[in-house]
A and B are shown apart, each in its own frame.
Chain A
Amino acid sequence: MEDITLKNLWKAQDEKLDRTMKANLFIIESMQKQKAQSKLNGLARLKLFAVILGILWSLFLGILIYGNQLQNIYFTVSTGMIMLITVAAVVAYIRHIALIKELDYSQSITTTQKKLARLQASTFSSRFILLQTPFYTTWFWSTEMIQASIIKFCLIAVPITILFTVVTIWLYKNLTPLKMHKKWVNYLLKNDPEQVPVIQAQKFLNEIEEFKTAS
């Protein structure tokens, strides 16, 4: 099959398409009046929801810290750290939303698609949120609790916190795109419905790179 035949076959569909595609392209009026929502804004909406939740959670923690008035240092430090990490996550998500809003579809395909795929894969860069986990095992500690049973504290509470700290740091170090080739990372992410688009985005990023360098 010659080039000219391929191109002629492609052209042969013009008339049919023009005759049969009934899509209403002239929807500008309704777009202006109804402020039509783009179907591609799902990611931004998801992140906005997370931002709202994050702000509410941070405010709640702030109120708790203020109410505690430094009476319990363990509570203040733990809750403060959780709040700090949540605020950092909120800032990161706001940055993502700004990037989504600024996305320019009139840039070259590889540039725009790369930005989009990076945004979708940004869950990896937001994994610092995991670092708050150990603080959920220490907020209820108190001097009274430790003094009442130092042995119980050392045998139960401390090991639990150490375990959570080690696991969290390990996950933080390993849940990265660079470790995607590892079976357990792939298994962990593949079984999480929230992570499927992230994996696809990461694969697409690799495809874009391969597309740009093929020779």
Chain B
Amino acid sequence: MGFLGDVVSWFTTSAHWHGLNGLPHRVGEHVVLSLVAIGITLAIALPIGIALGHRRRGGTLAAAVANTGRAVPSFALMVLALKIFGFGTTPIYIALVILAIPPMLVNAYVGISEVDTELRDAARGMGMTGWQVLRRVELPLGLPLVMAGIRTGAVQIVATATLAAFIGGGGLGRYIVDGRSVQDNVTVFAGALVVALLSVFTEVGLGAVQKAVTPRGREVALADAVAAH
């Protein structure tokens, strides 16, 4: 129990729960960083994905965005953003947002564009305007997939925010970077454990939301599992 025992005592040491390098502060930094990045990504990706899906245009573009997004390493994106924009929070946000746009945009596009044509025509025939069709037919039916994309993108942001510490940012990655630099493996492990729990918590929590907005028998497979950690 040597190493794991040390990890347990790390968590029970009061000093690790107070101050700027304490767990509450670092978790707070990580959560705020992630929430702001998720908010910016939502504001960019959802309107574009939904608008393209509603017009059923840009399918090739959406697929290209998804494929390119998968091929770009998140670590590379962080380092590139740092070298282009310099130190600070700007490069961190830019990298996180660029990473999470593909899953959110593509799933919103697919969710809306794959709503049954007959249903859309029926709604049109009932005299609904394009806007009403979107609000009353396409969005409710496409919601499960839109939500699946939000979940994937959000988990990706929470996970990748760990890398922010490598380019001078805060958050839970600090324990990993700072611990590594002084070969304090216990701190490294403790930080990694907390960030893993936070990511899994995000995944499970948003998974529950996705389930809640999905009618029975209409469970969806993610249109595009974008994997970049």
A and B found bound together: no
Q: Which residues of A contact B (CB under 8 A)?
A: none
Q: Which residues of B contact A (CB under 8 A)?
A: none
